[in-house]
């Protein structure tokens, strides 16, 4: 039995692009409930400018108000030194730094060149040093860029080397706009695990083109054991309106359990939380399938 870590991202990756602001008390309540589900990490917010991401303007209140479960690592996405200072002040467990392997996507996403991003990360690393806060380095568009197309695997590996040499504690390969396929995933994950050894590696897949769960299986075959996903499949990218976004947490956990893999996640509780999303978000088109179809083990009466 392999153990797979499930890392929830709905409070950040999901809520950031929702049409409606999710009230702070409801965010905190959902994160508290998620903290009791057996998840390894929760990306609870992002310390960014409230002008850039109004939906996450309550980052301080969220981080300082949520219950802290010692078994759950609470993560915040950080875009710059100011964000790192806010995250340190709020005593977050881990900060997540993101740069795109694609120069074009990085410029579009954070308005920086690769050199500017890496220089910023260096400064952030020196601020974080000694605080006990862990740092995860994410390589966005690792499997393809919506502007540039194919991304060279050695470019991804080059940036991972940079992250490791800065002292980052863990690495994420992100398929930011859902371009990865299972053959590519298996190949790149094998290479990266060879490269980073015991440094924890997370795969952050989107289901934009329906391949999300197939990519998870390919990554597990290549040795991956940590996955980001979002309750209900909430989140996504603005380039594909109507398309599915992040990998759906309950669909992911359901598949892994059916495959005989262990997660420690309470699937029934996740499903109940997901059923609350239409009311929480004010919309009914939640991408997750298990909430609609039921688990394989939910039998019908004749």
Given the complex with its own copies, which of 19 and 301 has the nearer CB atom?
301
For tokens 């609609």, the residue is 292
Per CB under 8 A, 154 contacts its own copies: no
The verdict on whether 237 is a catalytic residue reads yes
Residue 19 backbone zone (phi > 0: left; psi -120 to 50: alpha; other: beta) = alpha
Q: Which stretch binds its own copies (CB under 8 A): 44-52, 84-92, 111-119, 284-292?
A: 284-292
8: its two tokens = 């929830």
Beta carbon nearer to its own copies, 137 or 288: 288
Question: Which residue of 49, 57, 147, 275 would you call a contact of its own copies, by CB under 8 A?
Answer: 147
Out of 81, 127, 214, 276, the residue judged to bind its own copies by CB under 8 A: 214
Q: Which residues of 174-201 are buried (b: 16+ CB within 10 A; e: fewer)?
A: bbbbbbbebebbbebbbbbbeebeebbb
Binding-site member from 239, 268, 279, 283 for its own copies (CB under 8 A):
239
How far is residue 179's CA from residue 110's CA, in Å, rounded to a whole number? 20
Query: Site for its own copies (CB under 8 A): which residue of 18, 36, 61, 148?
Result: 148
Among residues 37, 145, 237, 248, the one annotated as catalytic is: 237
Q: How far is the CB of 209 from its own copies (least distance, A)?
A: 5
Nearest to 203 by CA among 190, 194, 195: 190
**In the complex, what is the shortest distance from the CB of residue 276 to its own copies, in angstroms, rounded to a whole number?**
17
Among 13-21, 123-131, 212-220, 273-281, the segment contacting its own copies (CB under 8 A): 212-220
50 touching its own copies, by CB under 8 A: no
Sequence-ordered list of residues with C-beta below 8 angstroms from that of 279, at least 6 positions apart, any chain: none
Asked if 258 is part of the footprint of its own copies (rule: CB under 8 A), the reply reads yes
Q: Is 208 in the site for its own copies (CB under 8 A)?
A: yes
Annotated active-site positions, please? 237
């Amino acid at each position: 039995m392999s153990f797979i870590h499930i890392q929830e991202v709905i409070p950040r990756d999901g809520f950031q692009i929702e049409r409606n602001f999710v009230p702070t008390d409801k965010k905190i309540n959902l994160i508290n409930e998620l903290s009791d589900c057996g998840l390894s990490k929760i990306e609870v917010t992002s310390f960014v400018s409230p002008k850039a991401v109004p939906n996450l303007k309550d980052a301080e209140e969220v981080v300082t108000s949520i219950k802290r479960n010692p078994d759950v690592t609470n993560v915040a996405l950080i875009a710059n030194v100011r964000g790192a200072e806010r995250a340190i002040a709020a005593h977050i467990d881990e900060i997540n730094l993101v740069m795109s392997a694609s120069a074009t996507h990085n410029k579009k996403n954070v308005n920086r060149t690769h050199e500017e991003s890496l220089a910023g990360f260096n400064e952030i690393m020196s601020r974080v040093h000694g605080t006990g806060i862990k740092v995860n380095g994410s390589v966005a568009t690792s499997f393809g860029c919506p502007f540039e197309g194919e991304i060279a695997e050695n470019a991804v590996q080059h940036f991972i080397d940079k992250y490791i040499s800065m002292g980052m504690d863990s690495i994420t390969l992100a398929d930011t706009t859902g371009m990865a396929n299972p053959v590519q995933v298996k190949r790149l994950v094998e290479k990266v695990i060879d490269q980073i050894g015991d440094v924890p590696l997370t795969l952050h897949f989107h289901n934009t083109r329906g391949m999300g769960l197939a990519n998870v299986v390919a990554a597990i075959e290549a040795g991956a054991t940590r996955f980001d996903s979002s309750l209900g499949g909430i989140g996504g990218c603005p380039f594909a309106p109507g398309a599915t976004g992040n990998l759906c947490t309950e669909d992911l956990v359901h598949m892994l359990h059916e495959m005989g893999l262990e997660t420690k996640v309470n699937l029934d509780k996740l499903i109940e939380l997901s059923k609350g999303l239409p009311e929480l978000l004010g919309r009914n088109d939640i991408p997750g399938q298990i909430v609609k179809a039921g688990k394989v083990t939910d039998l019908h009466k004749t």
